A and B are shown apart, each in its own frame.
Chain A
């Protein structure tokens, strides 16, 4: 069974940092692009970042450029999101998702990040 399990969310003060992790199982991790997608409370989905199979290409939405870094460790079947200089507007559930050629499937259960003083 393909499974993605996120961890690392929590409460952090504005300006702080947090590192999210996503453990993948049930598929050949290094064959797929991987993504982070977030959802603010009561709001819609927002694509955050993608990373290529070998980590050589990374892309992110403009609002997180220079603050968030996506990375992966294929030996550990793991995806990461390093989040620095966090703002209140970054408060959201962050989902890890396997990215196929034109879609996201499956998704993890999500991890909540709350940025507040």
Chain B
């Protein structure tokens, strides 16, 4: 199972919006509505930001939103803040009889 494809880095200025893409196949992203996104600050554990493509857990600011079109999922962060600078990972259920999960390679978000 190959990792999902994410851009290695994105950047934006405070207050701007950025979008991180996550491209898979019809066997993972395109086949299920089980895409989640995680934020990871250096030396810290990942934190769930989006689940089921577009749902936000309690406590996650509504500046974070998710969507999906075909085999590509996207995470959009609006009104960028300095504390949003982190690595972001997408994840999708990959199905099959082995009940696989696959992550993206990660995207480094820099707030300029």
Contacts and interface: CB of A to CB of B under 8 A. Distances in A.
A95 B40 CA distance: 13
B45 A59 contact: no
Interface stretch (A9-17, A18-26, A77-85, A106-114): A106-114
Contacts, number: 67
Given A50-B99, A50-B101, A106 B48 contact: yes
B45 A105 contact: no
B45 A103 contact: no
Nearest to A93: B45
Nearest to A65: B98
A62 to B, nearest CB: 7
Contact of A105 (B48, B104, B105): B48
A62 B94 CA distance: 13
B30 to A, nearest CB: 15
B21 interface: no
Nearest to B45: A107
A93 to B, nearest CB: 9
Interface of B: 1, 3, 32-36, 38, 45-48, 51-52, 57, 89, 91, 93, 98-106
